[in-house]
């Protein structure tokens, strides 16, 4: 019997520039007799995987909710949606709708990646690259799933119709084994380039992106030697440099620039390709509205004097016409600022998944665990502090004190960039830190519940403890 797999194929040009044209092709059927047997087919197929990352249900909105609102620095406005207020206060369960949105988007992304991996038959550099890109995107998505839910189903082939869709969860260690193996293969085989020569390929995964993802995975698992070595390879490659100033990191003119290792691509070429981060975080986007995400006041007060990273956080704002807008409730920030948006919740801001400052801090944390706070550890952190305009860390810190300093540095450097929840969980600080902000937290909240609609649809799934 002929097997049919339905997948939307988008021909997407992944450009940072707003001059590029992103076009969509109609939905296509892929059969055993109609694999990705041309370079155009293969590239279109993997572009469809990248396209899924941009969706609101994934990095476009929901990932921000889970990774930042699900931690201690970002809070939700108290006159907003009751469902999100409850989530912010750890008063939620398996019916919280963004959990199902994220689960569905993640497995849709994995399905698209699987389709590319299984069906790309090209014996060429392009074919190898496309498969490597798809494996990277699948690994990234499984990493996000396993950090959020723990044990999850491991799916490595496309579905073959509507039968046999009841798939049980496997232990998270099996997920990690799979994605570590895939990433090692990508890095060792050289299927991904260090950089892309054609502007039309800006935004695709590089070898540096694969190394960054694998470094973060090893850090999460406590494999410090592996994390340290990968971070060092990225730092030593010469492909990445810190921007001169902190605001340069988020300047739209610098997107996909020297510090950026991998970013989700957005633009105003078409409104549907734009991002909504500016509206979510800023006091205003198109005046006088404001989004739902605010900055915890204790976190704002924690910055050292003269730390330029705090200058993006504000309690009042001057409009283009000279009027002063006072922030309602709590501070906001302008990491995502676009003065020429393309709609009320649509702007050009990319979502930065990995950048060099993160890698420097990964190196410092791993090296500190291996050898203590030696000169290389101090240098990695102090590069970031120097750019921030604050003094170097005091000499003579203990290993544990330096570990605490790195976690604090990650908070100051990377707030609202999708790292905070995972940092707290990885370091065992989640419950203590959440309770210190006044949010009662039980041990069950270190994992999110399996979404209720998935439990209803898949009889093989089990729920996480406590939900």
* Cα 257 to the center of its chain, rounded Å: 17
Q: Exposed, middle or buried: residue 308 (CB in 10 Å: 0-12, 13-18, 19+)?
A: middle
Cα torsion angle, 217, 348, 76, 59, sign? negative
For residues 295 and 415, the answer to whether their CB atoms sit within 8 Å is yes
Phi-psi region of 455 (alpha: psi -120 to 50; beta: other; left: phi over 0): alpha
Q: How much is the pLDDT for 79?
A: 86
Listed range (187-191, 298-302, 321-325) with the worst mean pLDDT: 321-325
DSSP calls for 32-64: TTS-B-SHHHHHHHHHHHHHHHTSIIIIITHHH
Angle at CA 131, nearest 5°, toward 128 and 136? Answer: 125
Report the distance separating Cα 452 and Cα 444, nearest Å.
16
Cis status, amide bond into 288, omega within 30 of 0: yes
Spatial CB neighbours of 37, under 8 Å, sequence gap ≥ 6: 121, 122
Give 290's pLDDT tier (boundaries 50, 70, 90). low
Residue 24's closest CA among 10, 40, 37, 35? 10
Q: Is 319 helix (H, G, I), strand (E, B) or coil?
A: coil
Q: pLDDT tens digits for 255-279?
A: 999 999 999 999 998 888 999 887 7
Count of C-beta atoms within a 10 Å radius of residue 384:
22
Q: How much is the pLDDT for 338?
A: 87
Q: Which residues pair with 346 in a beta bridge?
A: 343
2.60.120.10, 3.40.50.300, 1.25.40.390, 3.40.50.2300: which CATH number matches 35-192?
A: 1.25.40.390
Report the distance separating Cα 155 and Cα 174, nearest Å.
12
Decide if pLDDT at 402 tops 60.
yes
Report the distance separating Cα 454 and Cα 387, nearest Å.
46
Q: How much is the pLDDT for 9?
A: 29
For residues 68 and 74, the answer to whether their CB atoms sit within 8 Å is yes
Note the pTM of the prediction, 2 decimals.
0.92
N- to C-terminal Cα separation, the chain? 42
Give 381's pLDDT tier (boundaries 50, 70, 90). very high
Angle at CA 194, nearest 5°, toward 188 and 195? Answer: 155
The kind and range of the H/E element at 293 are strand 293-295
Decide if pLDDT at 177 tops 60.
yes
Q: pLDDT tens digits for 147-172?
A: 999 999 999 999 876 555 789 999 99
Domain boundaries, the chain: 35-192, 271-349
For residues 113 and 464, the answer to whether their CB atoms sit within 8 Å is no
Share of the chain above pLDDT 70, in %: 90
Taking CB atoms within 8 Å and a gap of at least 24, the contacts of 9-12 are 9/44, 9/45, 9/47, 9/48, 10/44, 10/47, 10/48, 10/51, 11/44, 11/47, 12/47, 12/48, 12/50, 12/51
Helix, strand, coil % in the chain, rounded to nearest 5: 50, 10, 40
Give 22's pLDDT tier (boundaries 50, 70, 90). very low
Structure tokens at 55: 């969706």
Report the distance separating Cα 228 and Cα 216, nearest Å.
10
């Amino acid at each position: 019997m002929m097997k049919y797999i339905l997948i939307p194929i988008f021909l997407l040009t992944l450009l940072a520039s707003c001059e590029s044209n992103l076009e969509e092709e109609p939905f296509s059927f892929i059969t055993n007799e109609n694999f990705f047997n041309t370079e155009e087919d293969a590239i279109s197929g993997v572009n469809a995987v990248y396209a899924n990352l941009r969706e609101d249900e994934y990095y476009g909105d929901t990932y921000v909710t889970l990774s930042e609102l699900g931690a201690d620095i970002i809070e939700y406005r108290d006159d907003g949606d009751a469902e999100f207020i409850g989530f912010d206060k750890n008063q939620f369960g398996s019916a919280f709708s963004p959990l199902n949105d994220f689960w569905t988007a993640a497995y849709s992304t994995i399905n698209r990646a699987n389709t590319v991996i299984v069906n790309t038959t090209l014996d060429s550099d392009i074919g190898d690259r496309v498969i490597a890109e798809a494996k990277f995107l699948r690994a990234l998505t499984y990493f996000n799933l396993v950090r959020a839910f723990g044990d999850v189903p491991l799916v490595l082939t496309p579905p073959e119709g509507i039968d046999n869709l009841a798939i049980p969860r496997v232990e998270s260690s099996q997920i990690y084994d799979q994605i570590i193996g895939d990433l090692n293969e990508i890095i060792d085989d050289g299927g991904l380039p260090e950089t892309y020569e054609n502007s039309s390929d800006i935004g695709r995964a590089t070898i540096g992106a694969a190394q960054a993802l694998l470094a973060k995975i090893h850090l999460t698992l406590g494999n410090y030697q592996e994390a340290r070595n990968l971070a060092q390879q990225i730092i030593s490659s010469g492909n990445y440099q810190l921007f001169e100033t902190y605001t340069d990191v988020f300047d739209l003119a610098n997107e996909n620039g020297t510090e950026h290792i991998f970013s989700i691509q957005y633009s105003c070429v078409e409104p549907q390709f734009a991002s909504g981060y500016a509206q979510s975080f800023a006091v205003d986007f198109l005046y006088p509205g404001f989004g739902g995400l605010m900055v915890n006041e204790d976190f704002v007060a924690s910055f050292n004097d003269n730390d330029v990273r705090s200058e993006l956080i504000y309690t009042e704002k001057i409009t283009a016409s000279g009027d002063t807008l006072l922030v309602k409730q709590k501070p906001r920030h302008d990491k995502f600022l676009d003065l020429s948006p393309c709609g009320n919740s649509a702007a050009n801001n990319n979502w930065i998944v990995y950048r060099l400052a993160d890698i420097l801090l990964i190196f410092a944390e791993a090296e500190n665990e291996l050898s203590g706070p030696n000169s290389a550890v101090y240098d990695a952190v102090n590069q970031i502090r120097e750019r921030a305009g604050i003094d170097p860390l005091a000499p003579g810190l203990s290993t544990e004190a330096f570990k605490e300093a790195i976690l604090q540095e990650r908070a100051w450097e990377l707030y609202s960039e999708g790292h905070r929840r995972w940092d707290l969980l990885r370091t065992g600080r989640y419950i203590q830190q959440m309770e210190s902000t006044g949010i009662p937290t039980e041990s069950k909240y270190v994992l999110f519940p399996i979404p209720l609609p998935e439990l209803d649809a898949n009889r093989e799934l089990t729920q996480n403890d406590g939900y």
